Amino acid sequence: MHEVSLVRSIAATLEEAFSAEELMRLTNIKLRVGLLSNVEPVLLQNAFGAVQEGEGKFAGVTLAVELLPILVECEICGHRSQIDNYKFACAHCSRPTSNVVQGNELLIHQVEFSDPLPT
């Protein structure tokens, strides 16, 4: 499943960026997912749950998925338009455009940690 491998790559990214002690305190992962990235938030949540249960990783950590709309920038007039229903046209001058400036993202936007335990 596409989403499970995504969750694994997110996990690998976090394990590279943070120490094991820091990851013990991880509470929340915030993702930003563009509408063109073919990621279904519900499936991503399910995959995250499966990895939590199956691999014992990220116990108690929540995953938040923010969907980003598709934005195009018109080559003619420079106007930025949000794309609805996959009609790739400029909202200002109506010219067709496929100059996507947002919508392909799949980013770890933010991670949150609980306070360190007193030593």
Q: Which two tokens stand for residue 30?
A: 């915030």
Q: How far is the CB of 104 from Zn ion (least distance, A)?
A: 21
Is 109 annotated in a binding site? The answer is: no
Closest CA to 47 of 98, 1, 82, 83: 1
Is 92 a binding residue for Zn ion by CB under 5 A? The answer is yes
One character per residue 50-89, x = contact with Zn ion (rule: CB under 5 A): ------------------------x-xx-x----------
74 is in an annotated binding site: yes
Query: Is the CB of 17 or the CB of 76 nearer to Zn ion?
Result: 76
The reply, when asked if residue 90 is annotated as ligand binding, is yes
Helices (H) and strands (E) in the chain, counts: 3, 6
b/e burial code for range 57-78 (CB count within 10 A of at least 16 → b): bbeebebebeebebbbebeeee
- Compute the least distance from the CB of residue 93 to Zn ion, in Å: 3
Residue 73, amino acid:
E
For Zn ion, the binding residues (CB under 5 A) are 74, 76-77, 79, 90, 92-93
Q: Which residue numbers belong to the known binding site for Ni(2+)?
A: 2
